[in-house]
Amino acid sequence: MGPPLRSGPAAWSWGTQRMGVDLHITRAETWCYSEVNPITKDEWLVYVDADKELELVGESGYVIWHGLSKYSEPWLEWSEGEIKTKYPDTALYKKMLQIASELNAHVEDDDGQRYQLPSEWIFDPSERNLIPNGNVNKNVLGRWLINHLRKILK
């Protein structure tokens, strides 16, 4: 399998640390502003209750997807107005597109790159280490910093 299309879930390096790639379902202009135009926890719980493939774990908004994933327990987590996961395989990504469509939202990565088509994210977790990428997108760090400063300044 070749590298993923678009930015895909490449493993970013920051010195010796490796950063995971999150995909976000959000209504906001970009995921770090999800609290401004949120998917509410109540909306998410109603959606989860109606979707027989999703199993709520506890009351936090964390769910396990019982679809055809390469992962043993593919997960999605609601937090601060968005739904996210880390390193979704292709099947979970397609499920995220479905959820986003039904919640009038979109899917984007940490850099704000939007994904709309099933063919735009190709990832098999068993090959994750075969997709190294030493380039860190500075926007990821900047968005993370802005998001966390907003929380502190509230």
Cβ-contact 30, 84 below 8 angstroms: no
pTM for this structure?
Answer: 0.72
Q: How confident is the model over 129-144, as pLDDT tens digits?
A: 433 333 334 444 555 5
Read off the pLDDT of each residue in 11-21 and give the average, rounded to a whole number. 46
pLDDT band at 14 (very low <50, low <70, confident <90, very high): very low
Q: How confident is the model over 41-60, as pLDDT tens digits?
A: 999 999 999 999 999 998 88
Which ranges in the chain belong to alpha helices (H)?
Answer: 41-50, 90-102, 138-153
